[in-house]
Chain A
Amino acid sequence: MKVSFQALQRHVDLTGITPERLAEVLPMLGLEVESIHSFGLAPLPLVVVGEILEFSKHPQADRLSVCKVDVGDGQPRQIVCGAKNFKTGDRVPVALPGTIMPSGFEIKVSKLREVESMGMMCSAEELGLGKGEDGLLILTAQKPAIGTPLNQIYGAPDSVLEISVTPNRGDCLGLRGVAREIAAALNLTLKPLSINTPTGFAAQPSATDAFRYVQLNSEFCPYYTARSLRKVKVGPSPEWMRRDLEAAGLRPINNVVDITNWVMLELGQPLHAFDAQQVQEGIIVRGAKAGETLTLLDGKKLELEAGSCVIADAHRPLVLAGVMGGVDSGVTSATTDIILESAWFRPGEVRRVARRAGVATDSSHRFARDVDPAGVELASRLATDLLASYAGAEVVGSAVAAGKPPRAEVKIQLPLGFVAHKTGTSVTDVEVAKCLERLGFSTEKSSSGMTVLVPSFRSDVTRPIDCVEEFIRIYGTDRVPVGRPIAPLPGEEDTRSSLFTREISSRLVGVGFAECCHYTLREAGEIERTLGKSALPQLALENPLTADQTHLRASLIPGLTGALALNLSVHADPAGLFEVGVVFRPQADGTVREFLSVAFATLASPVVRTWKSREAWDVLKAKRMLLDVAALANLSASRLTFAALADGLWQKDQASALVDRGRSAQGACGILDLRWTRSLGIKGTVIAGEFMLPRSAFAEAVRIPRFAAFSSFPPATRDVAVIVPQKTSAAEVLSRVQQSAQKAAAKEFELEAVHCFDVFSGPGLPEGNKSLAFEIRWRHSTRTLTDEEANRAMGVVIAALEKGAGWTIRR
C-alpha cells in the first residue's frame, strides 16, 4: 500500500520525524517498507512560470518551434520547443539554464539545429509530476504571475512509502490504521476524527429515500448499510483530494467516485456509490442465480456463479459484492442522486469470488482481509460529509442498516506472567499492559492475570498468544535475551534417506563426478521419451505456468544429458555428471510414487585431449557403479538382476534394466539412445545409469552382518570353459555353473566362489557361439580338499553344463 507522509499527518503529529525514520520504525512493527519515493514537485528554484509571447516554426526542423518567452526578468528569451499543445499567451513552466531536472539532466544555453535556446519549457513528466497530458504543462487556467517559482505554486514535495501489509493486518490497509501503528510505536497520540454526519441508522428507508427496501438474503453479507444522497453535482474533485489519490496510485475520476476511494484509503473501508436512478425499487443482497450475468465497470462480462454474493435491485444484479460494481448502475456525469453503500462481506467469500472472477480490486483486497465492522458506519458518515461539501449532495435522512456487525470487541484472558513465559523474558504484566494500551487495547487486572479488550479493527488478535506478538512488536524484539545453550536430544539420528543422499553424493564426487541440480518440472516430450505417451496424463500438473514446465520428472537422465550437451557446447569438459533427487513414477496400482533417484552420465571417451589418455567408460563399469549405489542403500547384489530394456532413453541392445526381487528399487544402465543424444549435439556415446528407490525402502530394517567362521585350509580351484550360443546370457551360464558346483560340493565342503574370467568369440569357435570361462573355488572347513574330491566335483559341473542345449565344454 502506498502511504503518503503528508496524509499520515492528518492522523498523527509527525513533527520532527522524517519519512526515513518511519521507514526504520514500520518494519519493526511488521509493516515492511519496500520503497520510499518523492511525490510532487521536487525543489527546483530555477523553474519559473513563463508566458509564450510568440512562436514560429524552426527554420531547419519541422517538429520544433522557436518561441519568445517572458519569464519576468525583463528580457524575453528565445527557447526552442518540441511540443505542440500551446498557443500564444499560454503560461508554462520554464526551466532556466542551471536547472538540474529530476532526471539528472542539466539545462544549459545551447543551440538546437543552429538556433539558440535559453532554457526549456517543461511537461509534467519532465518535472517529476507523473505522466500528465502529452506536451507542456499548461498553467494558464491557474493564472500564476510570470516569474513565479513553480515550487510556490506546487508546495513542498511529499514522500510516499510503499508498504507491504501482511494478510492478517487488514486494518493497515487504511491510513488511519498505519497511523495508529506509528503512534503506538513512537508513543504518540492518534488525532481524533471529526465527522459532522450524525451516527445512527434507520431500520427501514423513509419515503424520500432513493430505495424502498434493503433485503439481506445472503449469508456472505451479515451487515449492509445504504444512504440516499440527492442533487449531487458530478464534477472534478478538489485538488488536495486528487493529490492524495494520485499519491496513493489511484487515478482521479470524479468527485463521487474519488470520495469513496479517498475514504477507503483513509479508513480501509471500501464504499460503493450507485446511480440511484438505475436502481429499481430497492436493494437486495443475495446469491446470484444460475445463468445471471453482470458486466463490470471495467467492461468484463461475468457469468455469475450460482450462490456468489451480489447486490441486486428488484430485477438484476448490479454489483459483484465487495469486488466491483456493474457498468449499468455506476456513477456518470449525468448522475444526480446516489445511493452510498457501506457494508461488511465475509472475507473468505470475497477472496474466493474475486479469484474465480479473475478480478482483484482495492475493494476485494480489503474485504478479503476482514475490514473493521465498526468502520462501516464511520466510513459512510465521513463520505457523507465530503459528498455534501464537495459534490453539493443533500442528505435525505439517516442511513438504513440491515443485519448487524458480525463481530465486536474481543475479550482475552491473559494468564499471570503469560507473556514473560512465552518470550523467555522477565517482563512484568504492568509493562505488558502498557504496550498493549498503546495499540488501542484496554486492559484490566483480573484474579488470574489480565483481561485484554481488543477493538474490532484487530480481527487478528483473539488468543493469549496473539497478545504476545502485539506486546513484542511494541516492546522490541531486540530486548529478548539470546536463549539458553541446548544439549542434543538422546537417541536421535538423521533420517536414513538423508544419510544415503549425503553418502552417495560424496562417493560420486570422490570418483570425479560433478553434482547437478535440475528442475523437477519438465516438458511433455521428455516424459514421453522416458515413459511413453501413456504416462503423460499421469504426471501432468493441473495448472502449469509455462509450456516447458508441465509435467513431473520421471527420471534424472534427461536433465543430466542436457547438462552434458550444454557443457560440451561451452567447452567445459564434462568428465562426469550426477544428480540425486526425487523422481515420480506411475505404479501398477494407478498411484504415482516418489523415488529417490541417483543418476549419473558420462561420455564413453573423453573429449579433451590430454598428454596421457584417460580411462574410457563402458556399460559394465556403469553397472558396477549402479551396484555400488544399491549396496549403499542396503540392497544386496543377490536380489538384483539385469534384464533387457526398451524405452526411449536407452539405446536398443546396449542398456539394461535393473530388476529388484524385493520389488522396491528400479534402475537402468547402459548407452543412451544415440539418435537422441546426437540430436542434442553430443557427438560421442553417453554412458549412464540411474538407481531409484522409494522412500518406503529406507524404512526397511537394516540387517546387521553376523560373523561366519572361515576355513584355514587351502582351497581347490578348477577352471571350466563352456561354448554356448551367442544369444545365451552370461547370467544363465553362470547360474548353471553355480548351481552344479554347489550341488557337487553337497554338504561335504563349500563352494566358495565362481567367477567369470574370460569371454571369447571368434576364430576357433563355431559361428554364432561364444566361450565363457569360469574359475570355481571349493574349500573344506576342517581339512585340505584332495585332488580326487575336486575332480569329482568338477565332473558334476561338466555333466550339468553339457546338458545345456547347444552347450559344449571347451577342452
Chain B
Amino acid sequence: MRPQDDWGLIVFGCFRLPIVSATAQILPMQQSLAQLVAQAHQEAQVIKTRAEMEAFKARIVGPNGSLTALMKNMATLSKEERPVMGKLINEAKKSIEDLLSALLLKIEDAEISATLGAPLDPTLPAIDSPAGQHHPLSQTRERILATFRKLGFTVAEGPEIETEWHCFDALNTPADHPARDMQDTLYLPQSFQSADAPRRGQEALVLRTHTSSVQVRTLLNRKPPLRIVAPGRCFRRDAVDATHSANFHQVEGLWIDHHVTLADLRGVLDFFVKETFGPEAEIRLRPSFFPFTEPSFEMDLRSPNLGRLSNRWLEIMGCGLVDPAVLKNCGLNPEEYSGLAFGLGLERIAMLLHGIDDIRHFYQNDLRFLRQFA
C-alpha cells in the first residue's frame, strides 16, 4: 500500500465520520491534521539517509513535532468532540508510523546495495577452476566395487611386489608349468628385499601379474566364509601398444564358503554385467583354462549398447571355481570349502563403457581426455 492511497483512505474516512457531533472547533483541527499527513508523505519522498530520516521523524512525532503539537490541542475540545478527534489523530499517527517504517526499509535497501556494488550479471563466466575429476579408471573401479559391495563383497588389497609363491605356486602354477608362459613376468633382482612381501625361501620376487595373489593372502589370513574383491595394479612384460600396457589394473573377486557352485558364479557375474552394462547385457561362460580355477571359463559379454562393439560376444574376464589345490595350498580343506573366483581388467571395462580405443590414453593424462569423464 502506497502512502498516497493510505492518505486517500483517511480523507475518505474523515468525510464518512458522522457529522452530527462535528462542531466549528473540530473542523480546523481536522484540516490541519490532513494537511500535516499530506505534507509528511510529500517530504518523505526526498529522504535518502538514515540521518535525514531521524530529523524528519523528530519534526513530526518528536517532543516538538507537529503531530505532537496537534495532540496537545485535544485538551481544548469538548467532551463529545474528543473521541471523534482522538480517532482521527490515531489514524494519522498510524499513517505516519507506516510511512516511517517503509522509509526505513527503503534506506536499508539502499545501504545494502551500496555495500554490494553493481548488480550481478549472472551470465558472466564462473571463475576459478571447476571441480576436478576422478580418473576414468578410478571411476570404473568404484563402479565395479560398488556393484560387488551390493553382493556382500568387501575390498581387500595386497602388495604390488609379490613372491613367486604367492603369485604362482600357491595358485597351482608351479615353476616350469606351461601356464607361466601365458604371461611374461617382470622380475626383481635376487638382492631385492621387499618389506611387504618377504620371501619364504629362495624364490624370486615379481611384479604381480594378476591380483589373484590377493586371494592367497586373504585365504591365509582370514577364515571363510568370505567374499572379497581386490582391485589393483598388475604388470606384464608387454610392449606398449593400443591394447597392451606395461601396467594395468585388475579387479579380482573371491567367494569362499561351504557350498559355492557354478550356479553362484553365473548369478554373481550376471548381476555384475547387468548392473554395469544395463539389463539388456547377456553373458556366456566359455570353457577355458586357468591353473587356479577348475572348471575355468572366459566370461563373454554381449550388449546392444556398446557402439561398434554392440551385439557380439566380447571376452571380458576369466573366472571359475577355485581349484581345490589352491584351497589346500592356503591351508583350507577342499572337502569342506569351495569357492568361486573371477578377475577382470579395469582398462578393458572402461574402454568398453566409454568407447575408448587406445589403452595408452589412460596413462597419458591429457586433460582433454580426462575431462571427458567428469
Q: Would you list 24 pairs from A and B whose C-beta atoms are within 8 A, ordered by A residue? A: A29-B287, A30-B287, A167-B178, A421-B261, A477-B285, A482-B270, A488-B151, A492-B227, A502-B142, A509-B131, A509-B132, A512-B130, A518-B365, A520-B207, A537-B189, A540-B189, A545-B239, A552-B161, A566-B365, A566-B366, A594-B195, A610-B125, A612-B127, A694-B195
Residues of B within 8 A of A591 (CB): 193-195
Q: Is A711 close to B, CB under 8 A? A: no
Taking A483-B268, A489-B226, A591-B195 as contacts, is the C-beta distance between A30 and B365 under 8 angstroms?
A: no
A509 to B194, CA, bound (A): 32
Cβ proximity bits A528-559 to B, threshold 8 Å, 1 near / 0 not: 00000000011011111110010010000001
Complex CA gap A468/B260 in Å reads: 14
A481, A512, A552: the one contacting B131 at CB < 8 Å is: A512
| The residue from B231, B237, B240, B294 contacting A468, defined by CB atoms under 8 A apart | B294
Tell which of B28-36, B63-71, B179-187 binds the partner: B179-187
Q: Does A708 contact B (CB under 8 A)?
A: no
- Taking a contact as CB atoms under 8 Å apart, the answer to whether A30 and B151 are in contact is no
Extra A-B contacts (7), CB below 8 Å, given A473-B287, A593-B194: A463-B294, A466-B294, A472-B287, A484-B267, A486-B151, A489-B227, A540-B189
9-residue interface stretch from B45-53, B72-80, B88-96, B152-160: B152-160
Contact (Cβ within 8 A) B160 A482: no
Q: Are B160 and A593 in contact (CB under 8 A)?
A: no
Residue B362 lies at the interface, judged by CB distance under 8 Å to chain A: yes
Q: Which listed residue (A169, A469, A512) contacts B128, Cβ 8 A?
A: A512
Q: Is A516 an interface residue (CB 8 A)?
A: yes
B88-127: contact bitstring with A at CB < 8 Å (1 yes, 0 no)? 0000000000000000000000000000000000001101
**Which residues of A sit under 8 angstroms from B238, Cβ to Cβ?**
545
Q: B187 touches which one: A349, A492, A513, A543 (CB < 8 A)?
A: A543
A167 in contact with B182 given A486-B151, A575-B129, A614-B127 (CB within 8 Å): yes
Could you tell me which residues of chain B, from 167 to 197, have a CB within 8 Å of some CB in chain A? 175-179, 181-182, 186-196
Verify A575–B237 contact, CB threshold 8 A: no
Specify which chain B residues have a CB less than 8 angstroms from the CB of A610 in the assembled complex. Answer: 125, 127
Q: Assess whether B286 is in contact with A30, with CB atoms less than 8 Å apart.
A: yes
- Distance A122 CA – B160 CA, assembled complex (angstroms): 57
Cα(A702)–Cα(B233), bound, Å? 27
Q: Is A521 close to B, CB under 8 A?
A: yes
Contact A348 B287 (CB under 8 A): no
B57 in the interface (beta carbon within 8 A): no
Docked CA distance A499–B261 (Å): 30
Whether, in the assembled complex, B85 has its beta carbon less than 8 Å from a beta carbon of chain A, the answer is: no
Q: Of B6-14, B19-27, B133-141, which stretch is located at the interface?
A: B133-141
Q: A465 and B154: CB pair below 8 A?
A: no
Contact A483 B160 (CB under 8 A): no
Shortest Cβ distance from A355 into B: residue: B181
B292 at interface by CB-CB < 8 Å = no
Which residues of B have CB within 8 Å of A347? 176, 178
User: Counting CB contacts under 8 A, is A299 at the interface?
Assistant: no
A469-B295, A469-B296, A514-B370 known; A489 vs B225 contact (CB < 8 Å): yes
Beta-carbon contact of B262 and A424 below 8 Å: yes
A513 CA to B286 CA, complexed, in Å: 42
Which residue of the partner chain, among B177, B321, B368, contacts A348 with CB atoms under 8 Å? B177
CA separation between A352 and B180, bound complex, in Å? 11
Say whether B324 faces chain A, with CB atoms less than 8 Å apart.
Answer: yes
Q: A477-B285, A486-B151 known; A577 and B270 CB under 8 Å?
A: no
> Which of A166, A424, A695 is close to B264, meaning CB atoms less than 8 Å apart?
A424
Q: Residues of B contacting A497 with CB < 8 Å?
A: 157
| CB-contacts of A490-513 with B (<8 A) | 492-495, 497-499, 502, 505-506, 508-513
Interface residues of A (CB under 8 A from B): 27-30, 32, 166-169, 347-349, 351-352, 368-369, 421-425, 463, 465-466, 468-469, 472-473, 477-478, 480-489, 492-495, 497-499, 502, 505-506, 508-521, 537-538, 540-546, 549, 552, 559, 563, 566-567, 570, 572-578, 581-582, 584, 587, 589-594, 610-612, 614-615, 694-695
Q: A567 CA to B152 CA in the complex, in Å?
A: 41
**Residue from B131, B323, B368, B371 within 8 A of A570 (CB atoms):** B368
Closest 7 CB pairs of A and B: A483-B267, A424-B263, A424-B261, A348-B176, A469-B295, A488-B152, A166-B289
Check A423 against B261 for contact (C-beta < 8 Å). Answer: yes
- B365 surroundings in chain A (CB, below 8 A): 516-518, 559, 563, 566-567, 577
Q: Is the CB of B188 within 8 A of A542?
A: yes
Closest Cβ of chain B to A520, distance in Å, is 5
Tell whether, in the assembled complex, residue B371 and residue A514 are in contact, meaning their CB atoms are under 8 Å apart: yes
Tell me which residues from 340 to 372 in chain B have a Cβ below 8 Å from any Cβ of chain A.
362-368, 370-371
Q: Kindly provide the distance from the CB of A574 to the nearest chain B CB, expressed in whole angstroms.
A: 6
Can you name the residue of chain B whose Cβ is closest to the Cβ of A167? B178
> With a CB–CB cut-off of 8 A, which chain B residues contact A567?
365-367
Contact B363 A518 (CB under 8 A): yes
Partner of B152, one of A424, A492, A541: A492
| Residue of chain A at shortest CB distance from B313 | A27
Residue numbers in B under 8 Å from A466 (CB-CB): 294
Counting CB contacts under 8 A, is B41 at the interface? no
User: Once the chains bind, are B289 and A167 in contact (CB under 8 Å)?
Assistant: yes
- Whether the Cβ atoms of B159 and A517 lie closer than 8 Å is no
How far apart are B74's CB and chain A's nearest CB, in angstroms? Answer: 52
Instruction: Specify which chain A residues have a CB less than 8 angstroms from the CB of B321 in the assembled complex.
Output: 422, 465, 468
- Residues of chain B within 8 A (CB-CB) of A517 are 135, 137-138, 362-363, 365
Expressed in whole angstroms, the minimum distance between the Cβ of B285 and any Cβ of chain A is 4
CA A497 to CA B231, docked complex, whole Å: 12
